[in-house]
Amino acid sequence: MSATTFDINRERMVEEQLIPRGISDPATLAAMRKVPRHEFVDDAMGAKAYGDHPLPIGAGQTISQPYIVALMTQALGLTGKEKVLEIGTGSGYQAAVLSQVCGKVYTIERIDSLLVRARKIFDRLHYHNIISRIDDGTIGWAAEAPFDGILVTAGGPEIPEPLVEQLADPGRMVIPVGGQDVQELQLVEKLDGDVSVRTIEHVRFVNLIGNHGWSS
Ligand code: SAH
């Protein structure tokens, strides 16, 4: 099969946007090389799918810049068998990337129309290890806890306590925390009963709306 423009652009994305910025985890790079990002945005946006920026996905939401998706994935430190919870399915792209680097992905979205569209893409592209539901993700998914990794793709004022509780030990969570304009991307690590937090990047995410997030 010959390489398409999308394949060429995707390889260029990895070589120009990810590797020079320090993405080095082989599984993360392989997933970014494989998952067809253009399938997760509207056809009209396809030509921009591999650009170095976020893109609108409808309902006022965005799919993150490729580098941020890779950075968050790499930060979870996965080895392939883990159970991972994502909050904020959006387009489904981040969940698809996660599905390549862990055992099973549980993803929660609060906007019905976005989840309906993401599920169709998961089916069409055969991502069978992604399980999804409509809910307020700030309360987590207690019935499936604990999770070896939790990735929150919307920014809130604080780390939701239920997510810390539902994190396995050892386990890692990556979450943007701060104001509504800019946030710190925080890596929360649970190890031997202790929870530590450190900042790994400054980011700009849409609002995490819910019980343990913003009210709107
Ligand atoms: N991971 C997505 C990024 C989507 S943007 C992707 O790869 O495309 C963030 C998403 O978080 C939006 O779709 C928004 O509706 C959703 N969101 C915000 N607050 C939420 C909450 N409390 N629970 C679940 N989803 C939430």
Give the residue extent of every domain in the chain: 54-203
The pLDDT of residue 27 is above 60: yes
Phi, psi of 94 (to 5 degrees): -60, -40
Cis peptide before 157 (omega within 30 of 0): no
Closest C-alpha among 209, 207, 137 to residue 173? 137
| pLDDT bucket at 178, cuts 50 / 70 / 90 | very high
Helix (H, G, I), strand (E, B) or coil at 19: helix
Give the per-residue pLDDT at 3.
Answer: 79
Pairing verdict, β 167-178 and 147-152:
parallel
Closest C-alpha among 144, 59, 43, 55 to residue 94? 55
Q: Name the residue with the closest Cα to ligand 1, atom 16.
A: 88
108 CA: nearest ligand 1 atom: 24
The pLDDT tens digits for 118-156 are 999 999 999 999 999 999 999 999 999 999 999 999 999
Section 16-31 average pLDDT: 98
Section 9-26 average pLDDT: 98
The CATH classification number of 54-203 equals: 3.40.50.150
Catalytic residue numbers?
Answer: 64
Helix (H, G, I), strand (E, B) or coil at 172: strand
The pLDDT tens digits for 147-168 are 999 999 999 999 999 999 999 9
Closest C-alpha among 138, 187, 185, 183 to residue 165? 138
Q: How far is the CA of 151 from the centre of ligand 1 (A)?
A: 11
pTM above 0.85?
Answer: yes
| pLDDT bucket at 38, cuts 50 / 70 / 90 | very high
Mutation test residue for ligand 1: of 208, 214, 215, 216, the one with most atoms within 8 Å of CB: 208
The pLDDT of residue 206 is above 60: yes
The pLDDT of residue 53 is above 70: yes
Q: Name the residue with the closest Cα to ligand 1, atom 14.
A: 88
Pairing verdict, β 183-191 and 167-178:
antiparallel
Give the per-residue pLDDT at 54.
Answer: 96
Provide CB contacts within 8 A for 213, sequence distance 6+: 136, 138, 154, 156, 157, 160, 207
Amino acid at 144: E
- Looking at 14-152, list the stretches that DSSP marks H as alpha helix, in order from N- to C-terminal side: 26-34, 66-75, 93-99, 112-124
What value does the CA radius of gyration of the chain take, rounded to a whole number of Å? 16
Number of Cβ within 10 Å of residue 100's Cβ equals 20
Q: How far is the CA of 110 from the centre of ligand 1 (A)?
A: 7
Give the per-residue pLDDT at 1.
Answer: 55
118 CA: nearest ligand 1 atom: 8
Q: How far is the CA of 207 from the centre of ligand 1 (A)?
A: 8
Give the per-residue pLDDT at 145.
Answer: 98
**Mean pLDDT over the full length of the chain:** 97
